[in-house]
């Protein structure tokens, strides 16, 4: 197996996640796209760790998984709060700070 096969798969996942973050306006769906981004990064870390025969890649992937869980918890709490105050999860309507 070539390393670049795994890296290419991770790149595809990352680009799909970027597309989702840009093109979605539902807050929950934006968070799902961010999960795709973080998973692509995990695959990269583990592939590099395996290619260079070190455990550090896996350790960093574990850190990324923990941070992703934190991000989803706080992010969904914020989305819930926006929904309770505005009755919408449409992030294009949350633009009070736009200049």
Subset of residues 31 to 70 that bind other proteins, contact rule: CB under 8 A = 31-33, 35-36, 39, 42-43, 46-47, 49-51, 53, 55-59, 61-63, 65-70
Six token digits for residue 56:
């550090």
Tell me how far apart the alpha carbons of residues 13 and 32 are, in angstroms, rounded to a whole number.
Answer: 12
- Site residues for other proteins, 70-89, by CB under 8 A, read 70, 72-74, 76-81, 83-84, 87-89
Angle at which helix 56-86 crosses helix 27-51, to 10 degrees, equals 180
Q: Please, what is the minimum distance in Å from the beta carbon of residue 44 to other proteins? A: 10
Are the CB atoms for 40 and 6 separated by under 8 Å? no
Furthest-apart CA pair in the chain: how many Å?
Answer: 51
In the complex with other proteins, the residue whose CB is nearer, 64 or 97, is 64
Shortest spacing between CB 45 and other proteins, in angstroms: 9
């Amino acid at each position: 197996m070539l390393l670049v096969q795994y890296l290419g798969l991770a790149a595809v996942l990352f680009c799909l996640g970027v597309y989702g973050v840009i093109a979605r306006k539902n807050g929950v769906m934006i968070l799902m796209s961010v999960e795709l981004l973080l998973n692509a990064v995990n695959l990269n870390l583990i592939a590099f760790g395996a290619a260079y025969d070190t455990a550090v890649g896996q350790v960093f992937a574990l850190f990324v998984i923990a941070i992703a869980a934190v991000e989803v918890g706080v992010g969904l709490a914020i989305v819930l709060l926006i929904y309770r105050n505005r009755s919408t999860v449409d992030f294009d309507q949350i633009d009070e700070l736009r200049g």
